[in-house]
Each structure stands twice: as structure tokens, then as C-alpha cells.
Amino acid sequence: PPDQLPADKEKPTLVVLGSGWGATSFLKSLDTEEFNVVVISPRNYFLFTPLLPSVTVGTLEPRSIIQPTRYITRHKKRKVDVYEAEAQEVDPVKKTVTFQDLSDIRGAAGSVTIPYDYLVYAVGCENQTFGIKGVTEHACFLKELSDADKIRTKLMDCIETAAFRDQPQDEIDRLMHMVVVGGGPTGVEYAGELHDFLIDDLKKWYPEVADRLRITLIEALPNVLPAFSKQLIQYTESTFAENKIDVLTRTMVKDVKDSSVVVQDANKQMREIPYGLLVWATGNTSRQITRDLMNKLSAVQTQRRGLLVDDYLSLLGGEGVYAIGDCTATSYAPTAQVASQQGIYLAGIFQKLGQKAKLERQLAQLRAAPNASPEEIEATVKKLNRAAKLTPFHYSHQGSLAYIGSEKAIADLPLFNGNVASGGGAAMLFWRSAYISTLYSVRNRTLVLADWLKVKIFGR
Ligand code: FAD
Ligand code: NAD
């Protein structure tokens, strides 16, 4: 917009890597007046991940849960540059970032290197495969919007193929077997959504094969959802049993083939399970760029899990670099809740850095002025000292929520100095209202509510 301040060579350059939970909440709260801000991310939008499983079966439309990054930056005081590109290298000594447009349409520009004064590193993580053979080739992940789309297409293809004329019985059984690996919240929520699709829609549309659909969730540990309270784990497992979702616990996937997975069960027995669709949700691992950065700072970056930061989210060993969200190794879980609180906190740190720079300029002017009053100088020095005082990041846990299918959700809430665990329809209403209230814009809220209503009336 014309009233945005243009870039100012006198101000420091702040580069933000990413457009996920951490980077977006940072950008939303950031005052850009004192910085030239550059945002680099391969995705030019924010994705509301908690509702991503709902996109895999058409409960929600993809556009309802994304928000363009430019929607946020175009309202900032000073102009922000947004580049749809992948950062390839961070040089913490020279203080530069190298990035390139690696999307399908690239133009003639090659890779670009720019200097930064400050860097906010929020590139998240990639999918963990533990190096298990065949995962990347044959399984679908559930992290990005394109993953949800791929699952939706593949799921429908399996069902249509199963309904194809003269399909052999054992092939129908294979095609209609949907296997989910990983009993964390991603795997559980996906299995729940899939069950709803079966009950609400498939039975009507594909009566000839709907009853053959089976959902199996494979988890290496003794139970699903290890981060939730015991009561909610039991509630989830019994709801899944009622919904005929098979849960294979103490079972570890060892190998993935194009139409079956090889698992080792609790008795160390190996067996092969045929599948039509395989969804892989076994958690996170660091991105290559993060591993490279750790290697460059190996004297202090000693955690393989992620980047180490101090209490103010400043990267150990990286001057002017701050890291937030899933790419860090802290005592907090890799969740949207943590990343967004860190983003807001960091915007506060930058507010202080901006104030400090402003006050330093004022002080220099005052000291240079022949008739400046000593009281005024002293007051400015006091303000400067206040701006330099930082409080460490403090995480406030608002509870954990997960949708488990058949209009039921589970909620672990830290209330009244203790934990309140709740499961069922009330938790489901709470789950919906919590997500609606945290969805970033009025546009997103309206779209999500309209999608939910549409599904109630017309089905998926
Ligand atoms: P992300 O949100 O992953 O963002 C990373 C950003 O960096 C992206 O924009 C990406 O495009 C960009 N990027 C990647 N590579 C580069 C590069 N080389 N250069 C520049 N940019 C790059 N958490 C909850 O608290 N509650 C939930 O209900 C919940 N549900 C979830 C459901 C699903 C299906 C999934 C997958 C996750 C869920 N999470 C939930 C976890 C939550 O999404 C993550 O913890 C959160 O996204 C972390 O935020 P982040 O900013 O660190 O990373
Ligand atoms: P996760 O790390 O929470 O769970 C992965 C699960 O996969 C683990 O329980 C692990 O034991 C299992 N596993 C690993 N290898 C296996 C194998 N070979 N065979 C069988 N099982 C195997 O991963 P996630 O569910 O993707 O969650 C990632 C993060 O995002 C977590 O911090 C989670 O809290 C957060 N998240 C939160 C929500 C929510 O709050 N509703 C939803 C999704 C994700």
C-alpha cells in the first residue's frame, strides 16, 4: 500500500525464514518501523495444521485453512519483502542467507545471497522416516497441504479401484485397507477423520465396498498418544475399538513395500500387512539446512534433535540469530502452541531492540545539541536501560486437544492448578470453538464454519 514506509538503508535488515506457526505469529506481532524485513519461505502462505487432517477426506476445503503471508505483511508500517523461495544456507559468521526459487516455475534468477543483521530462523522440521526403506516412495505424509490433497486423491482412487468390475476379493480387501503408522496425535486424528468419512459418506456412495473398508493404526509403543493422560488414552482406544479401528500397539514397521508393510510385533514376530493407502505419521526430524547450521556451530550446537537456544530464544553461537518452533531442541513439545507463543515473545524482543535503536539515536542527538538539558539526557538513558532489560521466554500451556472421530474429541486442560481430562461430545464442541477462535482471520473462521455446515447438509 502507498502509505507503507519504504526500505531504509540506515535500519538493520531482519530476515525471517519460514511462514509457519512460529514465523507467522512473529510477523503478526512485529513492529517493522525500525527494520527492513525480508521473509523467505517455499510456501507463500500460513497453514493452520491442526485442521489439516480434516482436509484429507473433504470435511474442510484446503483454502479454508490457509492465509497468504502477504495478507499480514501488506498491513505493516514499513514495506516487507516476501520471497517464495527455499533458504539453502545460513552463514552465521558472514551473517548471510542464500536462497533460491525451487518451485516448478523458476524464471531466470539463480540463487541469491543477502546479508542480515538479525535472522529469525523458523523453518520447522521434516517428516521422520528413521531411514526405513520404502517410506518416501510408497507412503503419504501428513504435514503440508499437498500431502492432504495426495491422500484425498489416493484414497478415492483405492475406493474406485476396489469398486471396479470383477476386482478379485483379496484385491478388494487390500485396496480397502487403510494403514496409518504412528499413534501420535497426527495418526490418531487422521484415523478418526477417515472413520467419519466411512460412516457418513462412503456407506451411501459405495454400498458395494464400504463395508470392506478397514482402518489399522500401527504404533511401536504400548499405547497411542503417549503425551496425553492415561484416562484419555483409554478413552481413545475404546472409541477406536467401537469404531472398528484396529490399533496394533508394540508393533513396529520395519519395511515398506508398494502394497504391504512388514511389521515386527510384541513377540518379535515379523509379518506382512497388505494396504491400499499408507499414511506415515511418526513425528519430526531436522531439515538439512538446520543440520548444516548445527555443523557450522558444532562447538555449541550439540543436540541432534534441533537447535539450542538460550532463555531469550537467541541461537547458541549465532550472533543476531534467533530460532523458534519445531527446529529447536527445548524442553517444550514441538507444537503450534509453543511456536506461536515463541513468535509473539520474539516480536516483543524486537520491539525492545527497535526502541533501543530509536533511543540511542535520540541520545546521540541530545548529546550533540549544545543546549540539551542534563535531565532530558538522564531520562533518555533511563528509558534506554529499561529497553535493554529483557525477560526470558515463558511458555504457558493452554492444554492439548485432539479430534478422535465420531464427533468426539479429547482435551487435557491445565485448570484449577491440576489437569482436567475430558473426552466426548462436549470436548468436541470445545475442540471446534477453540480452533475457530484461534484461526487467524475472519475470512478463515467464516470459511471453516461454512465448510462444517456444508458437510452437515450435503455430505463431503
Ligand atoms: P512450521 O509451521 O512447520 O513452519 C515451517 C515453515 O518453514 C513453513 O512455512 C515451511 O514452508 C518453511 N520452510 C521449510 N524449509 C524452509 C527453508 N529451507 N527456507 C525457508 N523456509 C522454509 N500443534 C498443536 O499445538 N496443536 C495441534 O492441534 C497440532 N496439530 C497438528 C496437526 C498436524 C497434521 C501436524 C502435521 C502438526 C500439528 N501440530 C499441532 C504441530 C504444529 O503444526 C507444529 O508444531 C508447528 O507447525 C511448528 O511451527 P514452526 O513454525 O516451527 O514450523
Ligand atoms: P509424534 O512424534 O507425536 O508420534 C509419532 C509416533 O510414531 C510415536 O508414538 C512413535 O512411537 C511412533 N512410531 C515411530 N516409528 C514407528 C514405527 N516404525 N512403527 C510404528 N510406530 C512408530 O508425531 P506426530 O503425531 O506427527 O506429532 C508431531 C508433533 O505435533 C507432536 O509434538 C504433537 O504433539 C504435535 N501435534 C499435535 C496435535 C494436537 O495437539 N492435536 C496434532 C498433531 C500433531
pLDDT at 221: 97
Is the domain of 57 the same as that of 140? no
Is the domain of 151 the same as that of 85? no
Q: How far is the CA of 224 from the centre of ligand 1 (A)?
A: 22
Cβ of 431 closer than 6 Å to ligand 1, yes or no, is no
- End-of-domain residue from the set 259, 284, 309: 284
User: In terms of pTM, does the model score above 0.90?
Assistant: yes
Is the domain of 279 the same as that of 203? yes
**Which spans in 268-335 are helix H?**
288-296
Distance CA 295, CA 281 (A): 27
Top pLDDT among 277 and 2 is at 277
Q: What is the mean pLDDT of residues 429-437?
A: 88
Cβ of 21 closer than 6 Å to ligand 1, yes or no, is yes
Percent of the chain at pLDDT above 70? 98
Is the domain of 295 the same as that of 268? no
Burial status of residue 249 (CB atoms within 10 A of its CB: 0-12, 13-18, 19 or more): middle
pLDDT in tens, 40-65: 999 999 999 999 999 999 999 999 99
What are the angstrom distances between the C-alpha of 425 and each of 27, 128, 237, 398?
35, 33, 16, 20
DSSP 98: E
Is the domain of 227 the same as that of 251? yes
Residue 444 forms part of a structural domain: no
Is the domain of 203 the same as that of 271? yes
CATH, residue 176 = 3.50.50.100
Q: What is the mean pLDDT of residues 259-283?
A: 97
- End-of-domain residue from the set 258, 284, 310: 284
Q: What is the mean pLDDT of residues 158-171?
A: 97
Is the domain of 273 the same as that of 325? no
Is the domain of 89 the same as that of 224? no
Q: How far is the CA of 338 from the centre of ligand 1 (A)?
A: 11
Residue 372 forms part of a structural domain: no
Q: What is the mean pLDDT of residues 170-182?
A: 98
ipTM of the prediction greater than 0.95, yes or no: yes
Nearest CA to ligand 1 atom 13: 123
Residue 3 forms part of a structural domain: no
Burial status of residue 33 (CB atoms within 10 A of its CB: 0-12, 13-18, 19 or more): middle
Residue 82 forms part of a structural domain: yes
Taking the CA of 434 as reference, the closest ligand is 1
Helical pair 336-368 and 21-29, crossing angle rounded to 10 deg: 40
Q: Which residues line ligand 2 (CB under 6 A)?
A: 50, 130, 181-187, 189, 218-221, 226-227, 252-253, 281-284, 333-335, 400-402
Encoded amino acid at 259, one letter:
S
Taking the CA of 52 as reference, the closest ligand is 1
Distance CA 17, CA 14 (A): 10
First-last CA distance in the chain? 39
Mutation choice for ligand 2 from 186, 285, 397, CB with most ligand atoms inside 8 A: 186
Mutation choice for ligand 1 from 24, 49, 114, CB with most ligand atoms inside 8 A: 49
Residue 366 forms part of a structural domain: no
Residue 368 forms part of a structural domain: no
Nearest CA to ligand 2 atom 14: 282
- Residues forming a β-bridge with 68: 45
CB 423 within 8 A of CB 409: yes
Question: Is a pLDDT exceeding 90 seen at residue 323?
Answer: yes
Burial status of residue 250 (CB atoms within 10 A of its CB: 0-12, 13-18, 19 or more): middle
Residue 198 forms part of a structural domain: yes
pLDDT at 415: 76
Q: How far is the CA of 190 from the centre of ligand 2 (A)?
A: 12
Is the domain of 103 the same as that of 37? yes
State which ligand 2 atom lies nearest to the alpha carbon of 188. 25
Domain limits at 105?
Answer: 13-125+286-355
Residue 323 forms part of a structural domain: yes
Top pLDDT among 148 and 439 is at 148
Is the domain of 267 the same as that of 175? yes
Cβ of 193 closer than 6 Å to ligand 1, yes or no, is no
Q: What total number of domains does the chain contain?
A: 2
pLDDT at 416: 59
- Within 10 angstroms of residue 267's Cβ, the number of other Cβ atoms is 6
- End-of-domain residue from the set 355, 387, 411: 355
Is the domain of 47 the same as that of 159? no
Q: What is the mean pLDDT of residues 152-181?
A: 97
Q: Whole-number mean pLDDT of the chain?
A: 95
Is the domain of 139 the same as that of 273? yes
Nearest CA to ligand 1 atom 37: 49
Residue 45 host element (H or E): strand 45-47
